[in-house]
Structure 1
Amino acid sequence: MRRAAIVGTGAIASAHAEALRAAGDRIELVAVVDVDEQRAREFAAEWGVPRVHSRLAALLDTEDLDVVHICTPPRAHVPLALECLAADVNVLVEKPPALSLSEVDTLIAAERGSAGRVATVFQHRFGPAAIRLRRMVSEGVLGRSFVAKCDTLWYRGDAYFDVPWRGSWDSEGGGPTMGHGIHQFDLLLSVLGPWQEVRAVAARQARDVATEDVSMALVTFADGTVASVINSVLSPRETSELRFDFERATVEVEHLYGYTDAHWTVTPAPGHDEVAALWREEQSAVVSGHGCQLTAFLDALDSGEMPPVTLADTRNTMEFIAALYASAFTGTVVKAGQIGPDSPFYATMEGIGAPWANAR
């Protein structure tokens, strides 16, 4: 049986503990780490975890581990992942995996010298419907891709941002583009493949934060697909929506924090009813979530493959975020590959500074 530990026992850690429990005898949660010892002990008691540590170093020194789940606030993700890689331990890190493209490249370099591997939690890639959609795209069943949209319209009130690390470039890395919409547009990118260029706007409309509270982007993909991406924490009717208009069908999903097949619809183009029939051949009630990704992660470890989502996959999504901010803050079109070490948006998503920074 494989052995896991969780670092950071805040709200998202429960999703990881539930996924580990659901994996049965494939893996065991043997320890947790948190700087708040009382919270860690309460979490351990709730989930039946035998040991608690106050520091990651102590965990790595005393436990024989296959994977560490990093569930801390974003600023700590990369330093903790680097510690795990130095100890040759695999990492499953919550989103956003890093605060900048530079930090992702630091992880890539560290991974090359380690027996451990880093995977990012982008769980919506692993729902059965998303897997089926990517397969149908790759097999050419849906024909050419033309148009797509990706909306993450959520609501987070002022009290949400009372938590000290939220709404800050230094500790969270960005606003809803980094911390909320990232799941939906990561799924969009996993379906449509390489993006080519981004035109974007970002604004701080209502929340007293340093980051944006809404962003919008127009994206062109390498295959010619054009897409819109909206990320908001100002939307009272919350929804997460993706729509793909292919040559032979429109494929849509509307959910909030997780989907089943029931949340998806397929509307065939005239004369292509077979597409809907093929979609209906496989039906699942499984909810997209951490459990689906953990299963794929364990399958990869068992087969000796790179666990998904790899740092190369992660970099593509993080580069898209950097390009969105760069386009929004400079008023220019930003192309894939444009943001390198000489760009101010490489070391921090804030780049040259948000247009509203001087108004605070």
Structure 2
Amino acid sequence: MSFFRDVSLPAVTAGFVAVLVGFTSSVAIVFQAATALGATPEQISSWMWALGLGMGLCSALPSLVLKKPVMVAWSTPGAAVLATAAAAGGFTLAQATGAFIVCALLMTAAGATGWFERVMDRIPMPIASALLAGVLARFGLDAFLAARTALPLVLLMLGAYLVGRRLWPRYAVPGVLAAGTAFAAANGQLHLAGVAFTLTTPVAVMPDFTLAAMVSLALPLFVVTMASQNLPGVAAIRAAGYRMPISKLITLTGVATLLLAPFGAYALNLSAITAAICMGPEAHEDPDKRYTAAVSCGAIYVVIGLFGAAVTGVLTAFPRELVVAVAGLALLSSIGGGLAVAVKDETHREAALITFLVTLSGLTLAGIGSAFWGVVAGALALAVQRWRA
């Protein structure tokens, strides 16, 4: 099998870092959403089972087929929407499950009709690259802001990165992760006590379809997932230079969400941040072999799904500063590449910078994140420039 010939240590490390960053940065929000909907501990574990399997299979299988890095994640802003709406509206888990199914149907329709890909085709590459750079730059900033609370750890990891880039570029990120983990372990900052590996039993919830849940849960979940997750996800794919069947991938995430929704998979979507980790040169020097990083990431997601909260406990045992530092350093090349493409063409430079700054600002309006508003602002700026010319 070609995968075993193409796979390498940096690719596997990139897959692990993507999982580490994806889980630890937002798993608390998912837990909060499930708790707000009244989920029991067994049902929360079932959410991890459904989300892990959904993300893992939707990442690994298309990557193997296409030989390109396809990265699928859960909708982090979608979880925030669920947590907020559930607390305000008093929805039950059954009503939320019905909303998950409706959202999945809308996502499937968006992919099957091809309208979302047609919208993405109209976004110029400099704007898409600025969008991606704006999404990723916050992680770059957080990597150095972590020095406020863990200066020795961040300095050690930065030093390991610089030395690694100078002496063995392909293994720079594995070296950063190893150095950070060793430092954290030596200082008693890894909290692995009490983690028991037991298989998770999925728990199905019978959906209850109500108009209130459709309006307050399903529609906002669909909008924020498409605008705040899938839009920068496609931008990440195109900024990395890959051509993929976007409509089919969106349809795949919709169908996977539909099948797994009764077990807690509220919304699956294309990833941007973890995708950049697996699509960058740190994953593999050969772009045609970076799919192995996505496959590795998907395999780890499947293991997380099977063991649920136990593996989540292992991932969350890493210090927060270690996670944000390794994420920021691993994304430096992607941030630089995105900015380079964004400002290269003078005719798009100003609009691209506006897109970058609005996206980086973290602005949220009407429950929709800054990625969407960054594209809107950049498109308006570009339209005014062209009209004036």
**When you count helix as a share of all residues, which structure comes out higher?**
2
Asked if these proteins are the same fold (TM beyond 0.5), I'd say no
Higher normalized contact order (CA 8 Å, seq sep 6+, divided by chain length): 2
**TM-score using structure 1 length:** 0.30
